[in-house]
Structure 1
C-alpha cells in the first residue's frame, strides 16, 4: 500500500454535497429563477428536483435559496455554492475538451446559445457539420437577447448567435447575416392596401411587441429613441409564432424579423411599406475571448465563417424568393 501522506486530500464537504447532479440542478435554478423551469430543462419532476436541492442544503448545512414572490433568490451561501459549481463544471468541461482532442473530431460536445429569431436557420448550419462529424454532441440553448448575454457573462457556452451584441473588448463579434426588421399587419387591416406609409400613419395603431430583453425590441426601442418616436403597445408576447398569430387575429401591428415569415404567413400577413423600414439589424457570431475553446468549437467557428457563410447566403437568397428554408446540400464525408 502507498503512503497515505501522498494521497490527494478530498474535502469532507464533497461527501456531504453528494452527486454532481445536485449542483447542476442548483445551477439551473440560479439561471432560470425557478425550480419548475429548472426541472423541465433537466427532464426531472419538480418534487425530484426539490428533494435534490433539500439534500444539497442539508449537506452544506445552510439554506441555499429563499422565495421572493414567485421567483427564487439565492442566499449568500447559495451564491457561493453556485460559484464553486461553475468552477467544478468548468474543470470537467476542460477535461472533456482535452479528452475529445485526444480523440480528434470523433467525439466532444459543442455548446451553442441562439437568439429565438435565429433558430430557424441555425439547424441548417448544424446539419452539414454534424453529418461531417457524426460522433459529436450539440447542446443548443434558445433565448432572447438578454438571456443570451447573461449566459455569455457567465461564459456558459462556446459560441453565441445574437443581434446587436454589446461593445465589449472582452468579446469577439463577427456579423454573419442581415436580419431586417419589418412592420407587419393582418391582410384584413386597412393599411395592408397602402402603397406608401409614414411612421405618423401607424403611430396610433395598437402594437403587439416582443418582451423586454428580446433583440428585436432592443433594436426597435433604439430606433424610436433616436428619432423621437413612440408606439402604442397593446400586448407583449415572448414568442415569434404567438406574436404572428396575434397580428393575424387583428390584435395589432408588429415589428418582426423578416426571416420569421414563411410562405404560409405571407397569405395571412402583409409587410407594410413604412418609410425607414426594413430596419437594418444583423445576427452576430459572438464568443468570449478569454474562454478556452475546444478543437470542436474552433472547427465549427471556422466552418461557419467559411462554408457556413456560403450556405447562409444561398439559403437566404432562396428564402427571399420562396419564403421557406432551403435544405443544405449533402456535405462530403470526411475520409477516415
Structure 2
C-alpha cells in the first residue's frame, strides 16, 4: 500500500459529508479531482470502501472501519503539528464546540479572551438544540459541548462554568394579576409558549410542571429562543426563558419578569466532553483557560444576573 495523507483526508471528508461534491467544496477541490483521489485510495484495497447506488454515496462496513483508522491517523498528524507550533510558543489548530441554542448567550464570552491569546486557533462552533448537540458529542465530532442537561447514557467529564436561571417573562404591558402569579393557576389560565422537543429549556420546564403537578395551557411551540422572545414581546403569550437571553429586552423595557412561586428554575451551564477522548493541545489549552478565567468572565459579563 502506498496511500498519502492527502488521500486519507479526502476519504474522511467524503465519508463525513456522504457526498463527493460536498467534500470537494469543503476541500477547495474540483469534483473530478476529489473523485480521482478517492479512486486512487480505494484501488489499494481488495474490498470496496464505498459504493454508489442511484447517485447516492454509501460507505461499506469495511469502509467505515478504514474511516475510523484514518481519523486516528490524521489526529496524530495534527498533534505533531500542534506540538511543533506549541514548542515554538504558538498554538494552532481547530477547536470544535457544539452549543445548545441558549448557550449562544454564554460561550462567546469564554471564547473571546482565548482566541485573542491564540489568534492561530480556528474555531468551529455549531449552535443547535440539545438533541443535535448530544449527537455531535456522541459521534465524537466535537471537542466539547455546552449544555445544562447532562445526558445519562454517555461516560463524560464535565466542568461547571456558569449558573443558569430560568424566569417567566411577559410583554411589558401584559396585565398579569399579581395574586394569580403567586399560584399554580397562572400556568393553567395564561397562554404559555414552549420550545420544541429536544430543547434543554423545555425539558427543565416539563420537569418543573411534573413536580408541581401543573398542566399548563400551551399556546404554541417555537424552535428558537429569539422567536419566543419576539412572540412574548408581541404579547402572544408568556414563556419561561433563560435570564441570560433577555438582558437587552429588559434594558429596553420590552419584557418584564413575572415573579412566580417556584421560579426562577436554577441549573448550571456545563462544558462536557467524552471521558475517553484524547483532547488535542488546543482543546486542553481551552479547558485550562476556562478553569482559570471563569470567575473573571462572570464578573465582567454576567454579574448583573445577581439582581434577579
- C-alpha separation in 1, matches of 2:304 and 2:235: 29
- C-alpha separation in 1, matches of 2:240 and 2:228: 10
Cα contact 1:64–1:78 (8 A) shared by 2: no
- C-alpha separation in 1, matches of 2:281 and 2:189: 53
3-state SS of the aligned residue for 1:160? strand
Report the CA distance between 1:268 and its aligned residue: 1.4
- Aligned position for 1:24: 13
- Aligned position for 1:331: none
3-state SS of the aligned residue for 1:226? helix
Report the CA distance between 1:10 and its aligned residue: 4.4
Whether 1:276 aligns to 2:266 is no
3-state SS of the aligned residue for 1:245? helix
Match of 2:288 among 265, 284, 302: 302
Distance of aligned partners of 1:87 and 1:146 in 2 relative to their CA distance in 1, 3 Å threshold: farther
- C-alpha separation in 2, matches of 1:83 and 1:268: 54
Larger proportion of strand? 2
Distance of aligned partners of 1:20 and 1:99 in 2 relative to their CA distance in 1, 3 Å threshold: closer
TM-score by length of 2: 0.79
Name stretches of at least 5 consecutive residues in structure 2 with no aligned partner: 40-47
Name stretches of at least 5 consecutive residues in structure 1 with no aligned partner: 1-8, 67-73, 324-336
- Aligned position for 1:248: 233
Q: Give deviations 1:250-279, integer Å, cap 9, x for gaps.
A: 221111111000233451111111110001
- Aligned position for 1:149: 134
Report the CA distance between 1:148 and its aligned residue: 1.1
- C-alpha separation in 1, matches of 2:61 and 2:148: 30
Distance of aligned partners of 1:134 and 1:200 in 2 relative to their CA distance in 1, 3 Å threshold: same
- Aligned position for 2:53: 63
Cα contact 2:195–2:222 (8 A) shared by 1: yes
3-state SS of the aligned residue for 1:61? strand
3-state SS of the aligned residue for 2:286? helix
Report the CA distance between 1:26 and its aligned residue: 4.8
Cα contact 1:107–1:135 (8 A) shared by 2: yes
- Aligned position for 2:275: 289
CA RMSD of aligned residues (A): 3.7
3-state SS of the aligned residue for 1:261? helix
Report the CA distance between 1:228 and its aligned residue: 2.3
- Aligned position for 1:228: 213
Match of 2:77 among 86, 95, 100: 95
Cα contact 2:148–2:267 (8 A) shared by 1: yes
Report the CA distance between 1:85 and its aligned residue: 3.7
Q: Give deviations 1:147-196, integer Å, cap 9, x for gaps.
A: 11111111111122111112357201222211111111112222176695
3-state SS of the aligned residue for 1:310? helix
- Aligned position for 2:303: 317
3-state SS of the aligned residue for 2:241? strand
Match of 2:156 among 153, 163, 171: 171
- Aligned position for 1:159: 144
3-state SS of the aligned residue for 1:100? helix
- C-alpha separation in 2, matches of 1:166 and 1:299: 25
3-state SS of the aligned residue for 1:189? coil
